[in-house]
Amino acid sequence: RMAMIRLDKLLSSAAGLTRSDAKRKLSSGAVTVDGETVKSGSCKADPGVQRVLLDGRPLLYREHLYLLMNKPLGVVSSTDDPRSPTVLGLVPAPLFRRGLFPAGRLDKYSTGMLILTDDGDFAHRLVAPRKHLPKVYEVTLDAPVLTPALVGEFAKGVYLGGGERSSPALLEPLSALRARVTIYEGIYHQVRRMFDQNGAKVTALRRVRIGGLALDPSLPEGGCRELTGGELRALFALQNPEPEGTP
């Protein structure tokens, strides 16, 4: 059983309506609760028990929303940007609600796994450095620097310039110019900077895993869907209180 919730808030959360749009829908008689038309946004309903319809279609209310996105190139991980399209613009209308934001970031020129939510506590757990949640990236480089010595350098932590050093990371060469990198923190442009410091530029970067959850291979670039309960639990399954190699 859910708590009683105002109908204007329910319309905003479950249907992505603005407050003024919700008011118009209510006043037009488009909202019913258990078959009765309700026109006041201050009226409350329990969406877990009562049947709430908007334009004859049931409203599926969840307190918070958790979405998995396969971010494409050229889109910024932001709620608003005057110069570039944002990840919020890729959220399908049935899944969109006010308050959604990316939990963590991928830069404009990176692709892959991104989580969006309107749950601030959840987002903090996902990105907090002290959680040491592993994040796995596949990278393509412009120079063949993937030597055993570099694997050892990553395992110790890489000096990033400006007095900043990364924590230990796992580097797994896949070919002469491709590798998989696992990091446990979220320093700005961290993976790119780790290779910059060792003589190579990252020409492609794709996040393929966060915690115990891998990117859904059936989700196309730009695609977005809800996470299942099992996937939400898997995200935190590999939380590591102290990454290997940390003194």
Residues acting as catalytic residues:
107
DSSP 62-124: -SS-EEEEEEPTT-BSSS--SSS-BGGGGS-GGG--TT-EESS---TT-EEEEEEES-HHHHH
Cα gap 107→186, rounded to integer Å: 12
Specify the DSSP class assigned to residue 175. S
Q: How far is CA 103 from the centre of its chain?
A: 5
Q: By three-state DSSP, how is residue 4 classified?
A: coil
Residues 229, 145: Cα–Cα separation, whole Å = 41
What is the rounded CA–CA span in Å between residue 69 and residue 154? 28
Cα–Cα distance, 240 to 207 (Å, whole number): 19
